[in-house]
Structure 1
Amino acid sequence: MKLKNERIISEIASQFASMYNERGNLDKAKTYINIALAHPQKQSVSPIYSLAMEIYSKLGETKHTEAYCDSVMKYGNVYGKKFAYQWQTRKALHQYGTLLASPCFEKYSQYTDSIEKITPVGASANANALYNYSLIENTNTELKIENNTQRTFIVKAIFVSIILFLMVVILTIVFLRHKKTLEERLELNKKSLKEAKMLEERANQDKENHLLDKKIATTVIYKDIIKILNSHSKKMVPDWQLLSETVYEIFPMFSSSLYKFKKMSEIELHVCLLLKIGISMKDIAKLVCRSEDSVYSICRRLYKKNFSDEPTAKKWKDLINSL
């Protein structure tokens, strides 16, 4: 198409259309036959129109089929016209019955007879050509005999070389595949061991967290917080000093982990301590005398102060629980 060679475009497109037609991919066949039709060549209009007619007939697009049938009758050779009259006969039989289909069938029969007459003539011509070719070959055979010994030796040498080369290639491929298989097995074993170790660590962590949660639930401050939450008094607040001492005792590394973050206000620290012992955002809001939205804002603000990515309350809560 870059060379704008109409003949080659038409030929290649029609070949693709024929291939997809044979495979039953009619949409692709239609696309390529339309390209071929857009670049028609005088010497190939008959097969192109015949193929277009066949494709559109299979697609059930009668209007286009009729149009290309007319084109085949006008420009096509005997093979194309035979196919066109065959299609018209079927159409007439389907729509109008035997009587109106008779003229189309007669035309179809005439072109069939013409093709049958052409075939013996072509076969005779091929036979003559083969006979002439045999005479030439007999003449050349005498000249070729002198070189047969040397040529046979060269061919055998090349054949042996090719066999040896193929054996080396095959052995190399087998070795590389075996090596790849071993590497894949090794990698799979490493992955399995890593996953098993992670599962074991996760199980240990879950077990440890369960024990810690159970331990927290037995503390005085946790019981006091539950009482405050169950009461209707808005003036009751936890003993923050006792809460911090209890959390730092149960989670020895939590205090040092908090100091790695940017300096927190008193209320921010209280929120972190309550998150660590598993208090919900809604209950934290009651304990720090703020709205639930304010508690969420505090968590987002803490995350934004310490990290550059998008701040969310959940990210800060998960971070605190992981310490």
Structure 2
Amino acid sequence: MRNTLYLFVSLFLLSFYACKENAYPQVLLLADNLTNSNPDSAVSLLCSIKDDMSAQSEETQMYYRLLCVKADDKAYIPLTSENRILPVLHYYIKKDDTRHLPEAYFYAGRTYRDLGDAPQALDYFDKALDVLGDDSCCELRSLIHSQMGRIFSEQGLWNEARKVYSQAYRWSVLEKDSISMIYDLRDLASTYCDVEGVDSSLLYYQEAYDLASALNNPRIMSMVQSQIGKVYVQMGKYDLVKKILQPSLKTTVDRIKSGVYSITADWYYKMGNRDSASYYYNKLLGFGTLYALTDAHWRLAELALEEGKIQVAKGHLEQYMEELDSVRKFIDSETIREINSLYNYSLRESENSCLKAENKQEQIYLFYSMTGGVVMSLCFFTYFQYSRRKHAQFNLQLLRLKRIEEEQYKKSALFIEENKRKQEELTQLLRDGAYPAQQKEQIEQQKRSLYYAGKQAEFGLQEREKARRMLLDSDICKYFKEICNEEKDTHLPPEKWNLLEQTVNTAYKDFTEKLFRICKLSRHELHICLLIKIDILPKDMARLTDRSRESITSVRRRLYEKFFGTKGTPQQWDEFIDSL
């Protein structure tokens, strides 16, 4: 009945097609609007006018094909073939259509994400952002950053995911799209998945819930509440779980109910309320996800065994094994899909390399026929590419250095003092002002986060001092110190250097690996770094490495410039090594 209605509407609108050149039929514009508000209706409408599109211009047909992909994606219909979007994308690239090209790139990325090809999906998302240019199309920018964040999250790259989710939220705010803002806040909260980040996670979830409450949207409120309940279970705050999950139990959306009922059942089980746990586990059997069903059958089998119901337990265990087998097949298929993704990506890179080789051959032919000015231009271009690559590598090196320095700072006495100062400021803020309950709770949560971070830093500082004492008290360290006290020169065998390296890495986890991740070192440079770590003086370094004292000073100065890209003193290099 509904399809018939849309067919009638489409035929009616088709009779009023705009007559001016390059105007799209009104029915397609209507379908485009429906993709956001009612995607299922958009899919039905587009299907109903499929036969009519053959008589339209190529431009109109390409717009129709783009809308079909868009409507399917919005209606949660998996995009299982790149052949649907790539011809559309190539058409808009050829036409340099700035209106539709960003969206075509985006849905090419969505297609490859559904196909499990993360590298190709990210490439298309980046291209979509490139062709957008200015600060327009806030909605599309938000979608692109959100999809990139999910890819990073799936890979466990939480810092990268957090950055792009923040961008998605920023564009949603500019678009004034409250629904997208809620999902962006939820995604941001999910990036703080470790124990240290639960306070930040709860802040984002609470903000998302407040926004959903303001919209009076029960479905989204239930979704956010279930996520908050999951965090409370993780924190062991079982007294808060029931309170937060109670309203969510009324939801009718299966994909939300599965999470809510699963968390509720686990909570009752851990609280020792076996009857209620059994009730919710049994409910899950009707609509739970694959993982929820597996867990439910296992728990129900345990509960049946506790009651002596052997046959019931056996039935659930058999179902558990079937569900577990399905999970393994799913994981295997995901693994295979990832392997295929990497293979396909390598294949495309290989094809690109072949194309580049062919182009280079053509350039060689052209080279012999060109003038000296063209030769100079080619040399300049080569130098520019080389400089650009070196600059990119150096920026990556500085980024790694910055991360190491940030990690070390968070374990330093300076960080602890700064942390205490911030806690005192927040305490004074609470003491001096009268704030609403919600704002006061946020300040209290900030204080708790600072307190836990401070404790973590104090623990790290203690561990560092313990590691230093262990290193200096080690046999190999004492061996090197004794050699330094001897008058005669000596040649140290490789075994001693290897043992020193192992001991330093044991005391300071991955010390040498951190250095090599930033920049490659020669064996001589590494030996100097190891000697700095065990407090050997420069004059003794010269004896132990069979070099002059001036050479040791020069190497330390050169290493600082090699790592940091700027001139420095040997003492600055020693301080950096001591901080690792």
Identify the TM-score tier after normalising by the shorter chain. Answer: 0.3 to 0.5
Q: Which has the higher contact order (CA 8 A, sep 6+)?
A: 1
Q: TM-score, normalised to structure 2's length?
A: 0.25
Q: TM-score, normalised to structure 1's length?
A: 0.43
